[in-house]
Amino acid sequence: MRPVPIVSMTLVMAIASILMPGSAVAEMSKKLQAQYPAKDVLPDTNHPLVKKWIAEIDWSKVPKLPLAKADIPNCPDCPAGKKGVPKDACWWTCDGCVAEDDIEVCPRDKAWGLTYDDGPSEETPRLLRKLHQANVTSTFFVVGSRVLEYPETLLQEVKEGHHIGLHTWSHAGMTSLTNEQIVAEIKWAEKVVFDVTGLKTKYWRPPYGDVDNRVREIVRQMGYKTVIWTKEWDSNDWQIPDKTITNKEVFRNFKWALSTVPKLKGGVITLEHDLYTQTVNVAGPLLDMGMKKGLEPMDIARCVNDPEPYQNSALTQKEADKKPAADMPAADKPTADKPAADKPAAAPAAKPVTPQPQTPLETPKAASAPETVSGKTVDSAIAAKGVKKSDATQLAWSATCLAIVAMSALLSL
């Protein structure tokens, strides 16, 4: 008999959803939400957990670089000309500099690193259906604040074999943040993903691709690999909601990019978004176009041939091997809030990862917008978009999804 582990707050919620009436679960859900930072704002760096995370970094290794100027959503304001970029910054957004360990392409010819940023959102299930039909897995770079709103969608992504990466807590441009704020943005997002799925993320994409050597060193020490996207392969779908580009132009640009494939050495990584109706509308046709031209879509872990897509992959795999397949959470179980028609009939065969409850990273205590290059913002509407659904309903659904896992975990002790 092993000692009883401390179960995470999400698991407490899972069990509560079975034992308690809906209103009580909703009340607990609110409390759970209160344990995370406020949505879509920079987290408080004085929070005890953040202080603990900060203390885990060897700051002597972090380059001292000036903070970027930024506009309101912390989108970096690039200095005029490359001369204005600090020496040794290797600031991708502003001078296109790529560090040795940045992931900007897939090494293998025709490999297509398929990525969707800024979700999960209420549009994501529609995209998941398309990916399921095509039997394709992608990487979702998720925003922590959105995960808090749509935990059940995150679970669905994992259950259907997709790969999860981080896209920070509030979608801020990282080069404009202090060292402490960078830690808080990554670790809170990591924590909410872990609390929902049991997976400790290993890949991240900086909002706006905004990364320099200071940011890189901090995230490296937290175990992260930085993923950007291949030049000329930003779908620019994010401009459709802004009405600065049409669907037709998106398709035409993508067609042009596809025409360069025969000359490319290695594969590509595209940038798309699952936050808006319009971006999900073009995602299906873009997928079809790429596949028709012979590109092989895949998530980033596969693109770089990484057999361990998460920091705790070995651990979660060990746990998964111990459990029968029936332990998979019933993420597609219909409820009053989620009709069965919203969900695909079955998960694709490709690379399933079982969401596993693990010993929590930390017990949370009370705590206090999307991308582009060249400093343009796509995220101006993220905050407005993000606060739509009933949080209580979302978390209650998440709790139900996890209930089976929680109970089986407890029973196996």
Catalytic residue positions?
117, 273
Beta-carbon neighbour count of residue 236 at 10 Å? 18
Q: Which of 412, 399, 292 is CA-nearest to residue 17?
A: 399
d(CA 320, CA 322): 5
d(CA 275, CA 370): 9
* Rounded least distance, CB 117 to Zn ion, Å: 4
Judge whether 282 and 237 are in contact, CB under 8 Å.
Answer: yes
Beta-carbon neighbour count of residue 376 at 10 Å? 14
The region of 4-12, 81-89, 201-209, 344-352 touching Zn ion under the rule CB under 5 A is 201-209
Nearer to Zn ion, 157 or 371 (CB): 371
Residue 190 binding Zn ion, by CB under 5 A:
no
Site size for Zn ion, by CB under 5 A?
5
Judge whether 355 and 113 are in contact, CB under 8 Å.
Answer: no
Judge whether 166 and 224 are in contact, CB under 8 Å.
Answer: yes
* Rounded least distance, CB 314 to Zn ion, Å: 29
Nearer to Zn ion, 278 or 400 (CB): 278
By CB atoms closer than 10 A (0-12, 13-18, 19+), residue 341 is exposed
Q: For the residues of 30-99, what is the DSSP string, one character each?
A: HHHHHTSPPTTSPPPTTSHHHHHHHHTS-GGGS---PPPPB-TT--B-PPSSGGGSPTT---HHHH----
Judge whether 229 and 209 are in contact, CB under 8 Å.
Answer: yes
The angle at the Cα of 246, spanning 241 to 248, to the nearest 5 degrees, equals: 140
Near Zn ion in 294-313, by CB under 5 A: none
* Rounded least distance, CB 197 to Zn ion, Å: 20
Judge whether 171 and 377 are in contact, CB under 8 Å.
Answer: no
* Rounded least distance, CB 165 to Zn ion, Å: 11
- The residue within the footprint of Zn ion, chosen from 76, 86, 119, 370 (CB under 5 A), is 370
Nearer to Zn ion, 29 or 377 (CB): 377
* Rounded least distance, CB 74 to Zn ion, Å: 12
Non-local (6+) Cβ contacts of 36 within 8 A are 144, 148, 188, 191, 192, 364, 367
Grouping H, G, I as helix, E, B as strand and the rest as coil, residue 159 is: helix
* Rounded least distance, CB 210 to Zn ion, Å: 10
* Rounded least distance, CB 235 to Zn ion, Å: 13
Nearer to Zn ion, 73 or 151 (CB): 73
For residue 115, the cross-strand partners are: 139
Nearer to Zn ion, 210 or 391 (CB): 210
The region of 67-75, 90-98, 130-138, 365-373 touching Zn ion under the rule CB under 5 A is 365-373
- The residue within the footprint of Zn ion, chosen from 180, 190, 299, 371 (CB under 5 A), is 371
Number of residues assigned to the chain: 413
Residue 207 binding Zn ion, by CB under 5 A:
yes
Interface characters, 237-266, with Zn ion (x: CB under 5 A): ------------------------------
The region of 96-104, 131-139, 370-378, 392-400 touching Zn ion under the rule CB under 5 A is 370-378
Q: What share of the chain is helix, strand, coil (3-state, %, to 5)?
A: 45, 10, 50
Nearer to Zn ion, 149 or 327 (CB): 149
Interface characters, 102-141, with Zn ion (x: CB under 5 A): ---------------xx-----------------------
Nearer to Zn ion, 57 or 166 (CB): 166
Binding site for Zn ion (CB under 5 A): 117-118, 207, 370-371
